[in-house]
Amino acid sequence: MSEHHRSGQPVKHGYVRLPRDWKYSTFQCWVSLGLYEPDWSDRLVIEGDFGELAE
């Protein structure tokens, strides 16, 4: 299975900084449909310790 199928959330897992940077994302499709502005995620500030819990 390829990496883009394994990583459900590439921003969360640190593969990219913004959704638009992930080439497999549907984000650009949503932008082209006018549902999001191209810079929508540029304004997000995400802080905290997120991810799966350690066992």
With beta carbons less than 8 A apart as the criterion, state whether 19 and 8 touch: no
The C-alpha atoms of residue 13 and residue 10 are separated, in whole angstroms, by 5
**Residue 19's CB: how many other CB atoms inside 10 A?**
19
What is the amino acid identity at position 33? Answer: L
- Give residue 54's pLDDT band: very low, low, confident or very high (50, 70, 90): low
Kindly state the average pLDDT of the residues 25-37: 91
Which pair of tokens denotes residue 39?
A: 């810079």
Other C-beta atoms lying within 10 Å of the C-beta of residue 50: 10
Q: How confident is the model at residue 41 (pLDDT cuts 50, 70, 90)?
A: confident
CB-facing half-sphere around the CA of 40: CA atoms within 13 A: 13
Spell out the domain ranges in the chain.
Answer: 3-40
Q: Bigger pLDDT: 31 or 5?
A: 31
The model's pTM is 0.53
